[in-house]
Amino acid sequence: MNHILVTGAAGGMGRAICNRLKGYGYTVYGIDYREPETDLGVKFYTCDVTKTDSITAVYEAIEKECTHLDAIVHTAGIYDLDSLIEMTEERFTRIFDINLFGIYRVNKIFKPMLSDGSRIIITSSELAPLDPLPFTGIYGITKAAVEKYAFSLRQELNLLGIKVSVIRPGAVKTGLLNVSTVALDRFIENTKLYNANANRFKKIVDSVEAKNVSPEEIADAVDAALTDKCPKYIYNVNRNPLLRLLNAMPDHAQVAVIKMILK
Q: Is the pTM of this model over 0.85?
A: yes
Q: What is the pLDDT of residues 8-61, one digit of tens each?
A: 999 999 999 999 999 999 999 999 999 888 888 899 999 999 999 999 999 999
The C-alpha angle with vertex 80 and arms to 215 and 255, in degrees rounded to 5, equals 105
Assess contact for 145 and 132: CB atoms under 8 A: no
Longest dimension (CA), the chain: 59
Alpha helices in the chain (DSSP H): 12-23, 52-63, 89-99, 101-110, 137-158, 175-190, 195-210, 215-227, 241-248, 251-262
Assess contact for 223 and 20: CB atoms under 8 A: yes
pLDDT of residue 176: 62
Region 123-143 average pLDDT: 92
pLDDT of residue 141: 95
Residue 38 neighbours by CB under 8 Å, 6+ apart = none
pLDDT of residue 210: 64
pLDDT band at 204 (very low <50, low <70, confident <90, very high): confident
pLDDT of residue 14: 94
Q: What is the pLDDT of residues 173-198, one digit of tens each?
A: 876 666 677 888 888 888 888 877 77
Assess contact for 100 and 145: CB atoms under 8 A: yes
pLDDT of residue 178: 64
Alpha helices in 111-214 (DSSP H): 137-158, 175-190, 195-210
The mean predicted confidence, pLDDT, of the chain is: 91
